[in-house]
Amino acid sequence: MTRDPRYDVLFEPIKIGPVTARNRFYQVPHCAGLGHRYPFANAEHRRIKAEGGWAVVCTEESEIHHTSEISPAMESRIWDENDIPALQLLTDGVHKHGGLAGIELVYIGYHGPNRYSREIPMAPSHTVTDSYEPVQARAMDKQDIKNLRRWHKQAALRARDAGFDIVYAYAGHDMSLPMHFLSKRHNQRSDEYGGSLENRVRLFRELIEETKDAVGDRCAIAVRLAVDELLGDSGINSDGEGKEIVSILAELPDLWDVNISGWSNDSMTSRFSEEGFQEKYTAFVKSVTSKPVVGVGRFTSPDTMVSQIRRGVLDFIGAARPSIADPFLPAKIEAGRENDIRECIGCNICVASDNVVMPLRCTQNPTAGEEWRRGWHPENLQGSGSKESVLIVGGGPSGLECARALAQRGYRTTLADSAPYLGGRVALEASLPGLSNWIRVRDYRTGQLDQMLNAETFVNSTMDAALVQEFDCDHVVVATGSHWRRDGKGRQHKRPVPGLEDFAVFTPNDLLNPDFKIEDLPAGNVAIFDDDHYYIGGVLAEMLARAGRTVYLITPASEVSTWTKHTLEQERIQTRLLELGVHISQQRGLSRVKSGQLEIACIYTGRTEIIDCQSVVLITERAPERGLFDALTQLKNAGSLDQIKSIQLIGDALAPGTIAAAVFGGHRCAREFGIETDVDDVPFKREIPWFSEN
């Protein structure tokens, strides 16, 4: 296949100061939950993106000094020369494939409480930190500012010595000291670094100029700036000070990397934003600078990318999440394989990984974060060299990924699902408000299976033990999913809630059934008891409220969909529900149920209150659908399935979890299929610290 000439513009080389990017694909700085603690894993994660065609590959935030750190988050560090070897692993890997390596130098300021170093945080003015802990930052004096400028310059020199081609001065996401100086919300100084915008820009200008003086002969100097905080005149905005800042500094850096702030705006989920959603805030930048501009917008469509270039919005197509979902996105477009792109679904599981301080996860790309420690390449799998056949029962995200990867390895695969469609829970949940992009989990995998001659898929095919016994296959993988419990058992209630048997009880399975109609609920108020705390409770409440029902959402947590704080959407979810008139009862459990009423109780005091409702939707715990697996295992143990060599249970049928976990389980099954392992061995490499007194 050859590249579509419509996309030729994406592969033009672009000069950035003293260096040249080989194309317009630019992986902007993003966290991966790896950083200084897992340097080998971090380097390999970035190297593979360069292999996949990204012309520029950047680090995450790289802390420049021990007086400003954000432990336990696993960012990069460039505190002193001891950090250079780890960072050089990354630059060497990127250079191996002709890419440019960029580093985002950061001084966190009041955003970091300095849990590790125990240094007192610094800020433009006295203020509390934003970490919800009893820590305050002190106002910087003139010597502190001189020190910061020196530390930034020293870090830039270390970055150059580590092999970086692009060095950032960073003022974005409300997470960096330069932005805090720019912001009139944070900067209440009355000296030459405060007051007027010109004064507030002073420190950022100095950092850019001094970084350029130090390393600009060899390294490009990039500026990352949040041009809008979505706070109107209360913050930096693209119609006001955001545009003025860019105009003041327009020709100073070699590249402008522009976005919106804070992080929950910049990395908005697909539930609340569309591809290219930042354009209306950042499009002005190219009109006020001659330097190349990179921006983001969860770009996955090459047509959208070309449009951004042709219309003069951007010079580089910036990406964080799409580069995680498919590190080979540029290479696939270049090879005329754009239909093979594993498109980002905008779920922010990757963001949640960083927020809960664990290595990277991705719903679409199960190899993310596993490139070094498990040796998983996103495109290449070890061939099986086997003619054996595998029957996969269940066409949800786990079964689909298992079938796709097994077929890629060379096994003859048959995928059977009892439903009239493939995709399992993904196909159903993608019909909910804002989740339509999630269908990409199914569509990517069915699209790949359709191209494979050794893979077959069947719908409307219910497989019981007898039919499996008759089926001609060597191995069976059971991926039959799970179902939501109807008895109230979950995190809050460890035993079934009494009285539910006499009430109109529904679960997400009922509401997501393709045959479900809103009229199937009894007339009157609907209560949702959400003890799951992820997205499903909030999105079902939204669906019912939009259908005109009066909805009561009850949760034992302190807020609606509390786990979505990690995916940066909790505030938007709760705001939307309140705007739709949903009645929210927080920190409440179910006490007693009787016809037409729910008695709920405060989880702390036990005080009760009554909610009048005619039906309740329980979102508590899921039970694995393992009946087929248990029946097959029993037959196998009885000697009745000798022709079948192995039976495996995967995905939600093994242990219900996220869609990302289901995809990972299917992929791991396929990767390890036919490879003997010792259960006593650690199945991945670990990064063991080298011990020394220093």
Pairwise CA distance, residues 166 & 599, whole Å:
61
Pairwise CA distance, residues 545 & 541, whole Å:
6
Query: Catalytic one among 7, 26, 30, 31?
Result: 31
Asked whether 517 and 543 are in contact (CB, 8 A), the reply is no
Cis ω for the linkage preceding 72 (within 30 of 0): yes
Backbone phi, psi, residue 410, to 5°: 110, 0
Query: Catalytic one among 7, 26, 38, 170?
Result: 170
The count of other CB atoms within 10 Å of the CB of residue 251 is 9
Contact partners, residue 575, CB within 8 Å, separation at least 6: none
Query: Catalytic one among 65, 173, 180, 667?
Result: 173
> Is 502 assigned a catalytic role?
no
The length of the chain in residues reads 694
Pairwise CA distance, residues 181 & 12, whole Å:
37
Helix (H) or strand (E) holding 206: helix 197-215
Pairwise CA distance, residues 252 & 207, whole Å:
11
SS3 515: coil
Q: Which of 318, 311, 262, 261 is nearest to 283 (CA)?
A: 311
> Is 173 assigned a catalytic role?
yes
Q: Which residue has the tokens 């992080």?
A: 263
Query: Catalytic one among 266, 315, 354, 530?
Result: 266
Pairwise CA distance, residues 328 & 58, whole Å:
16
Pairwise CA distance, residues 666 & 409, whole Å:
14
Backbone phi, psi, residue 549, to 5°: -85, 150
3-state per-residue secondary structure call for 528-556: EEECCCCHHHHHHHHHHHHCCCCEEEEEC
Show which residues are catalytic: 31, 170, 173, 266
